[in-house]
Amino acid sequence: MDYKRQLYKVIKEYFNPNKVVSIRPYGGGLINSTFLVEFPDTRYILQKVNEYVFASPIGVMYNIGLITNYIRKKVIYEGKNYRNATLTLIQTICGENFAIVDEEYWRCYTCIDGITYDSTTDIEIFYEAGRAVGQFQQLLEGFHTRLLTDNIKNFHNTPYRYEKFQESIKLDLAKRVKECQEEIAFIKERADKMNKITKALEEEKIPKRVVHNDTKLNNIMFAKGQKHAMCLIDLDTVMKGSLVYDYGDALRLGASNAKEDEIDLAKVSINFDLVEAFTKGFLEETKDIIKEAEIQLLFDGYYIITLELGMRFLTDFLDGDKYFALTIEQKKHRPKINLERAKNQLKLVLEIEKNQTKLKNIIKETLIKIGYEREKNE
Ligand code: ADP
Ligand code: GN1
Ligand code: MG
């Protein structure tokens, strides 16, 4: 296969290629190309960085280098086990964190001997997911936001995403606007709901923190055979931003009763037990650092990020599937997958709207259960 020839060139930058036992595509990420490389006694993850998404792969690798070092040192400092506390980058034989092969950027990690889930109905697992997202925040307390390169500008700037969405409608590059009238109208009706978090950030009512920005379930590594979350992976989008998006993004995907690309919209609804479990894990870990103003926006994080994703998928469908590029299989069997994903997310937006009171109550009741002291966090 052609990709294998290319992969051997990359492997040569790191290891002796003669020792490779097998190579295969790996994982369910939507952005990078991920491969598992097996040697007789070790396994590595090789990833080609998506250059359409990340204009500066060197900037991405710079951030990942800083963050993984910081987390490892912090864990050692705290006397905890540093193995699997974060990703471990392997250096090329030239001592770099990445390799450039045929003008493309690659990186290599040790393969964490764990498991990621694309979905779960297991409350304990999702509670652990909440703990992991919260703990990430704790681990990076003290890491200065200014150290990081802003690799995707305006990544979770929802009003900016709305502007881009409107531009795509105007341009109608793939001539698809006509078939998306209903979805376009749905999003436009909610235009005034998009700026609550960005406004709070701009007005400094909530802090800009170093956040993960992509807390979907399969970006959380669990220990095999145990319901224990080890760490967050997929650190490409770690930049400054708001904690409430990290909370919301995890619920958006993980607490839905349907997968993100489910076509049967009747199945798209909220699993409230999962929301409760995640919220508990997340708040237990963050209760000493989260600000009261952030707590007030947790529900909005869930709502706005879901609207944002619906809009991002639709924008990309209108642009001709450039960002969330389709695989060969998808081109054949799911050519409208980005429209389907958009419809799915917009249905979820409706569900969140309908259940607003219930969701806010879950947050309130969880705060009481975990003994959160409001006065401390104002
Ligand atoms: P993408 O940006 O495309 O989502 P990810 O970095 O999330 O790429 O990787 C895709 C999948 O590959 C993950 O969901 C996970 O299952 C697996 N993976 C990534 N890095 C590692 C690692 N170091 N060890 C084990 N599995 C990994
Ligand atoms: C992408 O890389 P991955 O698959 O973990 C995307 C996220 C979306 C998610 C939707 C850099 O995440 O923002 O929420 O797909 N990552 C980037 O599934 O755009
Ligand atoms: Mg991922």
234 C-alpha to center of ligand 1: Å? Answer: 6
> What is the spatial distance between Cα 236 and Cα 234, in angstroms, rounded to a whole number?
6
SS3 166: helix
* Test site for ligand 2: of 32, 153, 157, 216, most ligand atoms within 8 A of the Cβ: 216
Q: Are residues 49 and 84 in the same domain?
A: yes
% of the chain exceeding 70 in pLDDT:
99
Domain range for residue 269?
123-377
Q: Are residues 222 and 369 in the same domain?
A: yes
231 C-alpha to center of ligand 3: Å? Answer: 13
CATH of the domain at 39: 3.30.200.20
What is the mean pLDDT of the segment spanning 113-122?
96
- The confidence band for 178, taking pLDDT boundaries of 50, 70 and 90, is very high
Identify the domain boundary among 59, 86, 112.
112
Instruction: Name, in order, each residue with C-beta under 8 angstroms of 292's C-beta and a sequence gap of 6 or more.
Output: 374, 377, 378
For residue 219, the ligand 2 atom closest to its alpha carbon is 5
Which residues are close to ligand 3, an ion, with C-beta < 5 A? 29, 219, 234
Q: Are residues 98 and 129 in the same domain?
A: no
Q: Are residues 53 and 144 in the same domain?
A: no
Q: β-pairing, 229-232 with 239-241?
A: unpaired
% of the chain exceeding 90 in pLDDT:
93
Q: What angle do CA 12, 16, 22 make, to 5 degrees?
A: 90
What is the mean pLDDT of the segment spanning 283-292?
95
HSE-up (13 A, CA, CB side) for residue 44 = 23
Q: Are residues 26 and 129 in the same domain?
A: no
Tell which residue, 327, 309, 229, has the closest CA to residue 32. Answer: 327
Q: For residues 327 and 251, is the Cβ–Cβ distance under 8 A?
A: no
Ligand closest to 117 (CA) is 1
What is the mean pLDDT of the segment spanning 164-186?
98
Residue 326 forms part of a structural domain: yes
Nearest CA to ligand 1 atom 15: 27
> What is the spatial distance between Cα 18 and Cα 37, in angstroms, rounded to a whole number?
12
pTM of the full structure: 0.96
Q: Are residues 177 and 89 in the same domain?
A: no
Q: Are residues 248 and 315 in the same domain?
A: yes
Total domains in the chain come to 2
Does the beta carbon of 345 sit less than 6 angstroms from any atom of ligand 2? Answer: no
What is the mean pLDDT of the segment spanning 12-30?
94
Residue 118 forms part of a structural domain: no
359 C-alpha to center of ligand 2: Å? Answer: 24
Q: For residues 247 and 298, is the Cβ–Cβ distance under 8 A?
A: yes
